[in-house]
Amino acid sequence: MDSTLRQIIRDTLVSYEELGGLNNADGHNLPSKRMLGQICGQLLQIVFPGFHDENPIHKSELGDLTGERLKKLAKGLGDQIAKSLQVADPACPETKAQDVLMRFLQRLPEVRNLLRTDIEAAYEGDPAAISNEEIILSYPCIEAIAIQRAAHILYVDAVPLLPRMMTEWAHARTGIDIHPGAEIGAYFFIDHGTGVVIGETCRIGSRVKLYHGVTLGARSFAKDDAGKIVKGGKRHPDVEDRVTIYPNSTILGGETVIGASSTIGANVFLMHSVPANSLVYYEEKQLRIVDKSAPSRQLEWSI
């Protein structure tokens, strides 16, 4: 067994030498996925105090506890921001990371205010919602949106890697994939949530409601002369205020705009804009419902 294991070790080391890009030995000290999960958990504790804790928090303890949590978050997140910035610029000074960190922390009250509107939208938009507590504790969209709104701050500040790692952490937990670059207005609600995909260059207005399985994606990818995909550019649609998009609809393209107060029905596939106040849906064709117990009839349908 020992000789076989030694050969496996040698083969693995040869693989490290031959297959570049899969290992980071002697490379940059990259952000830690494990540490980032802890940071996202700390963020949720700060924006929703008492909801992500094992023990109850008394109001008299909140000041000291918040101070401790912010200091802990600042240390951990500051280290991860520095590592991320040094990927793009190995000589990036620590002071730049600290500046980014302070700008991020200063905007946490703004994130909380937006999340308050998201919780209100969930309560108003779902007849099954009993209380704000139920929404915060059990609705996956709130966790996904909370992390995305925080990650978006770092994305706008041009921090590499870290924002996408944050939203992918939330994606793995909730099934909701929102790129940190997406711009999302107030009162945003994703009902059920599973399978929702929102691309990097989406712009979403206020009071927008999505259902499960909705994709706001790219229509196509421009390529250069060598056949490589051209990065950047507006690739994903805009969704204006007060739009509702029902389950499993797909809307594609950077030039596509869903006009304000429109409703997109279930299973719609769109690659062009629709004006404000539009209702977009597929008509049923030859839908039949028959009595299965009748011996001379068979269940038939055609959609």
Q: Are residues 208 and 157 in the same domain?
A: no
Quote the mean pLDDT of the chain.
90
The CA distance from 271 to 217, in Å, is 10
Domain count, the chain: 2
With 60 as the cut, is the pLDDT of residue 78 above it? yes
Domain annotation covers residue 282: yes
Q: Are residues 244 and 141 in the same domain?
A: no
Q: Which is nearest to 200 in space by CA: 223, 224, 216, 214? A: 216
Predicted local confidence at residue 302, as pLDDT: 47
Q: Are residues 114 and 142 in the same domain?
A: yes
With 70 as the cut, is the pLDDT of residue 192 above it? yes
Q: Are residues 36 and 114 in the same domain?
A: yes
CATH number of residue 236's parent domain: 2.160.10.10
The CA distance from 115 to 197, in Å, is 19
Domain ends where: 143, 175, 207? 175
What angle, rounded to 10 degrees, do the helices at 94-106 and 108-125 form?
40
Q: Are residues 63 and 34 in the same domain?
A: yes
Predicted local confidence at residue 212, as pLDDT: 97
Domain annotation covers residue 15: no
Q: Are residues 236 and 126 in the same domain?
A: no
Predicted local confidence at residue 1, as pLDDT: 67
Q: Are residues 271 and 136 in the same domain?
A: no
With 90 as the cut, is the pLDDT of residue 160 above it? yes
The CA distance from 176 to 169, in Å, is 10
Q: Are residues 134 and 258 in the same domain?
A: no
**The CA-based dihedral angle spanning residues 153, 124, 208, 200, taken in that order and rounded to the nearest 10 degrees:** 40
CATH number of residue 132's parent domain: 1.10.3130.10
Query: What is the domain range of residue 208?
Result: 195-303
252 touches 235 (CB < 8 A): no
Domain annotation covers residue 190: no
Predicted local confidence at residue 20, as pLDDT: 56
Q: Which is nearest to 252 in space by CA: 225, 234, 265? A: 234
Domain annotation covers residue 7: no
Which tens digit of pLDDT belongs to each residue from 282-296? 987 777 888 878 766
Q: Are residues 42 and 166 in the same domain?
A: yes
Would you give the DSSP letter of residue 216? Answer: E
Q: Are residues 154 and 238 in the same domain?
A: no
Domain annotation covers residue 113: yes
Q: Are residues 138 and 205 in the same domain?
A: no
Domain ends where: 140, 175, 210? 175
Q: Which is nearest to 222 in space by CA: 235, 239, 205, 209? A: 235
Q: What order of strands is seen across the sheet that includes strand 279-280? A: 189-191, 209-211, 244-245, 263-264, 279-280
Residue type, 214: V
Q: Are residues 170 and 287 in the same domain?
A: no
The CA distance from 209 to 181, in Å, is 19
Backbone angles phi, psi at 279, to 5 degrees: -120, 120
The CA distance from 51 to 54, in Å, is 9
Element (H, E) at 244: strand 244-245
Confidence of residue 303 (pLDDT cuts 50, 70, 90): very low
pTM of the model: 0.87
Predicted local confidence at residue 6, as pLDDT: 84
Domain ends where: 175, 207, 232? 175
